[in-house]
């Protein structure tokens, strides 16, 4: 895995829902000095712009969300609950503030921690606020394609966005249906509510 190449910026400069689905199966590569960590993306969520009330950019242009308004192919990393980090990939041409949240990885190389869930993913990959605004068309943090893609993609509502009204129902969470590494163990109850333990 030494010949991995970062996906070009125009991969990210497209419709956010398309980029989100195509990110499934791709490799997230984190290089730190001489070591590298690689995970396969198996779960993502799309945040499609100011009209999408679940997206941070629905609050307008603020210091935190400025990176979402900028060029695609950059990392938007933020601190959540004062404890965890979440990593997004900025999509669409500059001026259209959209992003895809990376929610779970399948460990491929150099990872020995839980990668199921956005906060754990960042911890396992050593991604924090230093990575915010980082250009993904570089060599420290990038996305690569090794030709593999999921056989089946599942779409569900996004996790933890109940405040977003109708937008909370949009099926913008995408996952590799056959992956054992999605965060479904923790969140299936949220995705499929109302099911009792009977039968």
Partner DNA sequence: CTCCGGATTCGT
Partner DNA sequence: CGAATCCGGAGT
Is 134 a binding residue for DNA by CB under 7 A? The answer is no
Q: How many Cα atoms are found within 13 Å in the side-chain-facing hemisphere of 103?
A: 28
> Residue 28: which H helix or E strand, with range?
strand 27-32
Q: Cα(31)–Cα(20) distance, rounded to whole angstroms?
A: 23
172 lies in the site for DNA, by CB under 7 A: no
The residue within the footprint of DNA, chosen from 34, 51, 81, 195 (CB under 7 A), is 81
Please give the backbone phi and psi of residue 66, each rounded to the nearest 5 degrees, phi first.
-55, -40
Q: Which is nearer to DNA, 27 or 105 (CB)?
A: 105
Is there binding between residue 191 and DNA (CB under 7 A)?
Answer: no
106 counts as binding DNA under rule CB under 7 A: no
Do 52 and 167 contact (CB within 8 A), yes or no? yes
Asked if 49 touches DNA (CB under 7 A), the answer is no
Q: How many whole angstroms separate alpha carbon 180 and alpha carbon 114?
A: 12
Tell which one of 13, 79, 153, 155 touches DNA (CB under 7 A). 79
Among 160, 169, 188, 192, binds DNA (CB under 7 A): 160
Sign of the CA dihedral with 87 first, then 65, 24, and 188 last: positive
Query: Measured between alpha carbons, how far is 126 from 75 in angstroms, rounded to an integer?
Result: 14
Binding DNA (rule: CB under 7 A), the pick from 5, 35, 149, 186 is 186
* Nearer of residues 179 and 183 to DNA, judged by Cβ: 183
101 binds DNA (CB under 7 A): yes
Give the shortest CB-56-to-DNA separation in angstroms: 4
Beta carbon of residue 58, minimum distance to DNA (angstroms, whole number): 9
- Distance between CA atoms of residues 85 and 128, nearest Å: 6
Phi/psi of residue 28, each to 5°?
Answer: -95, 120
Of 19, 161, 175, 182, which one interacts with DNA (CB under 7 A)? Answer: 161
Alpha carbon distance 97, 89 (integer Å): 11
Nearest-approach distance from CB 67 to DNA, in angstroms: 10
Q: Which residues bind DNA (CB under 7 A)?
A: 45, 47, 54-57, 59-60, 62-65, 76, 78-84, 86, 88, 99, 101, 114, 117-121, 158-161, 163, 183, 186
């Amino acid at each position: 895995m030494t010949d991995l190449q970062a996906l070009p910026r125009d991969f990210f400069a497209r419709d956010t829902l398309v980029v989100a689905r195509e990110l499934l199966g791709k490799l997230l590569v984190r290089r730190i000095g001489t070591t590298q960590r690689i995970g396969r993306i198996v779960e993502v969520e799309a945040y499609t712009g100011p009209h999408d009330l679940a997206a941070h950019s629905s609050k307008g242009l603020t210091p935190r969300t400025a990176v979402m308004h900028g060029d695609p192919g950059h990392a938007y990393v933020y601190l959540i609950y004062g404890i965890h980090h979440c990593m997004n990939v900025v999509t669409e041409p500059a001026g259209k503030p959209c992003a895809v949240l990376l929610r779970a990885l399948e460990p491929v190389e150099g990872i020995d921690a839980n990668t199921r869930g956005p906060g754990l993913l960042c911890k396992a990959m050593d991604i924090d606020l230093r990575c915010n605004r980082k250009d993904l068309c570089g060599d420290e943090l990038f996305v690569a394609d090794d030709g593999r893609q999921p056989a089946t993609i599942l779409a569900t509502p996004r996790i933890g966005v109940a405040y977003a009204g109708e937008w909370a129902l949009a099926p913008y969470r995408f996952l590799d249906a056959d992956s054992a590494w999605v965060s479904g163990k923790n969140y299936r109850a949220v995705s499929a509510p109302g099911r009792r333990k009977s039968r």
